[in-house]
């Protein structure tokens, strides 16, 4: 079968993505800077501890810690950490 021209395929609509950068990953207290998934507010957060394991449909599963956006008050991100120590709104480095 000959190579087909890809321009004839319909283009998929863009999906939202979330910028994030983890800092101090090997420290007792880690930091992550990210944009809120909903309003793109820049946020820096400190967290500590290994993720908590739970169960989902009878299988082991990580329990995510929800971080609330100080701007829009929705869940900005879900982290695999035991505890979130701080949440601070900052200008987004990706804006």
C-beta atoms surrounding 40 within 10 Å: 19
User: pLDDT per residue over 63-83, tens digit each?
Assistant: 999 999 999 999 999 999 999
Kindly report the pTM of this predicted structure: 0.77
User: Quick one: pLDDT band at residue 4, thresholds 50, 70, 90?
Assistant: low
Mean pLDDT of 2-8: 59
What is the pLDDT at residue 25?
Answer: 82
Which of 80, 78, 76 has its CA nearest to residue 88?
76
User: pLDDT per residue over 6-30, tens digit each?
Assistant: 566 677 777 778 899 999 888 999 9
- Please give the structure tokens belonging to residue 23: 């800092």
What is the pLDDT at residue 12?
Answer: 75
Percent of the chain with pLDDT over 70: 91
What is the pLDDT at residue 10?
Answer: 77
């Amino acid at each position: 079968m000959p190579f087909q021209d890809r321009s004839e395929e319909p283009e998929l609509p863009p999906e939202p993505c979330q910028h994030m950068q983890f800092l101090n990953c090997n420290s007792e207290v880690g930091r992550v800077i990210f944009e809120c998934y909903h309003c793109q507010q820049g946020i820096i957060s400190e967290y500590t501890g290994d993720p908590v394991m739970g169960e989902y449909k009878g299988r082991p599963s990580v329990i995510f810690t929800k971080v609330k956006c100080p701007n829009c008050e929705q869940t900005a991100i879900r982290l695999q950490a035991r505890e979130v120590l701080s949440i601070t709104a900052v200008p987004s480095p990706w804006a």
